[in-house]
Amino acid sequence: MTDDRNIERRDRLIFAMDVAEPAQARALAEQLGDSVRFYKLGLEMMMSGGYFELVDWMTARGKKVFADLKFFDVPATVGAAVRQLSSRGVTFATVHGNQGIMEAAARAKGDVRILAVTVLTSLDRGDLDDLGFACEVEKLVISRARRAFEAGCDGVVASGLELPALRRAVDNRLLVVTPGIRPVENRPVDDQKRVVTVEQAFRDGADYIVVGRPIRDAADPQRAAESIQETIAGIFPA
């Protein structure tokens, strides 16, 4: 596979920094060193306090930050929130809403790339029934990806299971970030239901992957991250 988007290979791995406190995040980032250059910071970190101080700390060290805050509110409020974020040196931010919300985020994005969430990888067909969606997961993902592109979003967050169909159906300019990556067989205690391997995700069209537990919970997180980087290097040779 060739790298036709000029994405740095080592940036294709995004580590989900799902820890409780900024101090833990800094310690883990120091431990990971050069094995990770891109970090996803989500709601747990936001609620702990010190979120933007951590963002500043990471960007000062040459790291990229994905603010996974899934903005969902009236469009004017989402636009204002994204506008505030655009001065923080963040690379990606997520929205999780309808057309008006996505359009407002896209208009206000500045230098931030806006990613629309399609269907969370923790949801399956039964969960969609509970939420009132009377359609298959794949159809919903494609519908939301098309609408995100029309709204001016830069990309989507989508499971690897829907990647082949998504790439056939939606303009290839849309970036795809794929969470739910499991280098090894999914564990029963894992809350991710729709998962794929590193190789499958990139083969089927992902631009970036998000990996959390397989790195964070490894005996040697740096070695685990470097192993994934080695796999990526084999998929996208220089």
Helix (H) or strand (E) holding 165: helix 163-169
Burial of residue 144 (number of CB atoms within 10 Å: 0-12, 13-18, 19+): buried
Listed by start position, the domains of the chain span 9-235
What tens digit of pLDDT does each residue of 113-150 get? 999 998 655 555 554 555 455 567 778 889 889 999 99
Contacts of 8 (CB under 8 A, 6+ apart): 37
User: Worst-scoring range by mean pLDDT, 4-8, 44-48, 206-210?
Assistant: 4-8
Q: Residue 184's pLDDT band (boundaries 50, 70, 90)?
A: low
70, 109, 139, 193: which one is catalytic? 70
Task: Say if residue 206's pLDDT is above 90.
Answer: yes
Q: Is the pLDDT of residue 66 over 70?
A: yes
What's domain 9-235's superfamily in CATH?
Answer: Aldolase class I (3.20.20.70)
pLDDT by residue (tens digit) across 22-33? 999 999 999 999
Residue 122 has a pLDDT of 52
Q: How confident is the model at residue 2 (pLDDT cuts 50, 70, 90)?
A: very low
b/e burial code for range 171-186 (CB count within 10 A of at least 16 → b): eeebbbbbbbbbeeee
**pLDDT the model gives residue 190:** 47
Task: Band the pLDDT of 187: cuts 50, 70, 90.
Answer: very low
User: What pLDDT does 186 receive?
Assistant: 44
User: In the structure, what pLDDT confidence band is assigned to residue 227 with cuts at 50, 70 and 90?
Assistant: very high
User: Could you give the CA distance from residue 164 to residue 229 in angstroms, rounded to a whole number?
Assistant: 23
Average pLDDT, the chain: 88
The alpha carbon of residue 52 and the mean position of all alpha carbons in its chain are separated, in whole angstroms, by 18
Question: Is 63 in the active site?
Answer: no
